[in-house]
Structure 1
Amino acid sequence: MASITTNSTSFVSNLREQIEYPKSGVLSKVLIKDNNCQHTLFCLATGTEIAEHTSTRNATVTVIEGRGILTLEGREISLEAGVFVFMPANAPHALQAQENLAFLLTLSEHHSHEN
């Protein structure tokens, strides 16, 4: 099901065909990752909540289908198909699926400006 590869190999997938909703909670599939990025398909059952947390990596969320609320740095963002969100590293965020919700999460390396 999940396909893990590096950036030296091409990868093609129809995201809608990969969607599988669990009866409750979250089902995630790492589609591709390398040393810099990880692309994971998340499928959340209606009513699922992910408590506030942070990540040490930059992240983007691209909603494929469904509806939910992303609370990002205290601001509520309505999630629906086509919505794209960038979350900087260490930004507090939480998620609630109002109905079955599928999105692609891309984590990328966070580079400090100290280089």
Structure 2
Amino acid sequence: MKDVFSKSAVFGLRDAIEYAEGGIVSKQVLKNDAGNVTLFAFDSGQGLSEHSAPFDALVQVIDGEVEIRLGGQPLYLKTGDAVIMPAGIPHSLRAATRFKMMLTMIKG
């Protein structure tokens, strides 16, 4: 699957990244000066501690369920849901079940 993210090649988002027992996996889809797109797979109970980013970020859940805390407020997302996390707002996440997401961050 080396060329999964070749330009003009069709790929399935859910199948493009695998879960790791007790861990978090990330795989970069695109990156350039304008921003990046990254796939993540989180095992159940795994998460990211509170942090903020200098740019807005779009999270799209492609499998499973996650609790995202955005500015201290809990949001519960499931497969097919998405949220825009505003720049500079602290956020964290915890996998309620195994879950996969695509994160799109555009600079500017």
Give me the TM-score of the superposition, normalised by structure 1.
Answer: 0.84
2:48 maps to 1:75: no
* Residue 50 (structure 1) shift: 1.1
Which runs of 5 or more structure 1 residues have no equivalent in the other structure?
111-115
SS at match of 1:41: strand
CA contact (8 A) 2:59 2:104 kept: yes
CA contact (8 A) 2:67 2:95 kept: yes
CA contact (8 A) 1:2 1:29 kept: no
Q: How much identity, in percent, do the aligned residues show?
A: 34
Distance 1:56 1:63, change over 3 A: same
Count matched residues.
107
Aligned mates of 1:107, 1:87 — CA distance in 2 = 10
Give me the TM-score of the superposition, normalised by structure 2.
Answer: 0.89
The residue aligned with 1:99 is 97
CA contact (8 A) 2:17 2:27 kept: no
* Residue 15 (structure 1) shift: 0.5
Which runs of 5 or more structure 2 residues have no equivalent in the other structure?
none
The residue aligned with 1:89 is 87
Aligned mates of 2:3, 2:84 — CA distance in 1 = 24
